[in-house]
A = this chain, B = another copy of it.
Amino acid sequence: MGIVRKTKAVKILLDLFDNGFSAISAVDLVERLKDEMNKTTVYRALDRLEDDGIVHSFVGKSGLKWYAKCKSSCTADHHNDVHPHFECKKCKKVMCLPVEVTIPNIPNHTIDNTAVFITGICDNCND
C-alpha cells in the first residue's frame, strides 16, 4: 500500500507535479518521461502516489486518465477537496478548479464520490 520508497521515478514525478502542472494525463507523462523511465513505471508510480493521497486521478471526456496533485491532506480512501476539473478546448489544458460544487440531495442514495468535469474556454484563452 502506497509509496514506501522514494525512488528516482517518484522524485521526478513529484517534482513535475510541484512545478506547475495543474493536471496532466498519464499519456502525457509517459511521453514526457520516456527518456527517464519506462511507461510501466509511470503507471505504477502514479498508482502508488494516488494510493497515498498525494495525487488524485480522474477521467477526461475522451476517457483518458488525468492526474493532479492533491491540495488538502487526502488519504488512500478519503479524498477531501472534491473540486471540478476543467478542460479548455482551445489550449487543451486541464486544471483543477478551486470551487465548491454542491450536489442536491438524492433520496435514498448514498453518495460516495462526485466527479465534475467541465469543458469550455479557460481564462487564459478567453482574451
Q: How far is the CB of A47 from chain B (nearest CB, A)?
A: 14
CB of B112 within 8 A of CB of A89, answer: yes
Instruction: Decide: B103 and A122 in contact? CB cutoff 8 A.
Output: no
Number of copies: 2
CA distance A121 to B106 in the complex (A): 11
Contact among B61, B103, B109 for A121, CB-based, below 8 A: B109
Contacts of A61 in B (CB 8 A): 59, 113, 115
**What are the residues of chain B within 8 A of A103 when measuring CB–CB?**
84, 99, 101, 116, 118
Given contacts A59-B59, A63-B65, A109-B121, contact A101 B99 (CB under 8 A): no
Residues of A near any B CB (own CB < 8 A):
59-65, 84, 86, 89, 97, 99-104, 106-123, 126
- In the A-B complex, the 4 residue pairs with the closest CB atoms: A108-B123, A112-B120, A110-B121, A63-B63
